[in-house]
Chain A
Amino acid sequence: ILNVEQSPQSLHVQEGDSTNFTCSFPSSNFYALHWYRWETAKSPEALFVMTLNGDEKKKGRISATLNTKEGYSYLYIKGSQPEDSATYLCAFVPNTGNQFYFGTGTSLTVIP
């Protein structure tokens, strides 16, 4: 089982603040890195699938970067809103085997 770590485990920010969190994964055998948002009582929702080193993706106020050589991805939220409150999951996909390795998530609470 590969180790995928997300930090911080939880985060509280004020409405309007920008924030970021990290997903760390093995730097070898990289194939893809997924980000999902999981709101309470809902199903996880796909945000990004990243495959290339140096990739940057953006969806509204949320963006993500990828560094496969050092094994990390950052997720940024600009001008956080209460509706951004959720757990953000990343999943590492190696280029061998048939597996998705999920981190334990970062729980974000945006305080109005």
Chain B
Amino acid sequence: DVKVTQSSRYLVKRTGEKVFLECVQDMDHENMFWYRQDPGLGLRLIYFSYDVKMKEKGDIPEGYSVSREKKERFSLILESASTNQTSMYLCAGSTGDEMGRNQPQHFGDGTRLSIL
């Protein structure tokens, strides 16, 4: 069974902290994604990666960066956390070229991040 694991279900940090959200997949997927989900809005793509050390900006990359040093791990970094980054963060993986646009995505359970 495919598995995408996010390091924390719940996380509380303070404004200005550097925050790392980790995601690991065991499916050998080329593509990995970070989304955030806020009330009344659909999932919004922050960044994705289609290969090791490769990354592309999504819709809302401001205030975030990512790292993909190994195929199975994709990290989301909040350089200096702010209260407007309080949200649910979801990681996903998929196979295929061109961002795997015609392939299903496999999601982690999400990290609910609160910035105080």
Contacts and interface: CB of A to CB of B under 8 A. Distances in A.
B41 A104 contact: yes
A43 B41 contact: no
Interface stretch (A11-19, A44-52, A61-69): A44-52
Contact of A102 (B40, B43, B98, B103): B43
B45 A100 contact: yes
A41 B110 CA distance: 9
Contact of B42 (A41, A42, A102): A102
A102 B56 CA distance: 18
A43 B108 contact: yes
A44 B107 contact: yes
B60 to A, nearest CB: 9
Nearest to B3: A43
A104 B40 contact: yes
Contacts of A105: 42
Contacts of A31: 101-102
Contacts of A91: 42-43
Category for how many chain B residues contact A = 20 to 34
A99 B59 contact: yes
A38 to B, nearest CB: 8
Interface in B1-49: 4, 33, 35, 40-45, 48
B9 to A, nearest CB: 9
B63 interface: no
A32 interface: yes
| 7 closest cross-chain pairs (CB), A and B | A46-B104, A102-B42, A102-B43, A43-B107, A44-B107, A93-B101, A32-B102
23 contacts: A1-B59, A4-B42, A32-B102, A34-B105, A43-B90, A43-B106, A43-B108, A43-B109, A43-B110, A44-B90, A44-B92, A45-B107, A49-B103, A51-B102, A89-B42, A93-B101, A98-B58, A99-B45, A100-B43, A100-B101, A100-B105, A101-B42, A102-B35
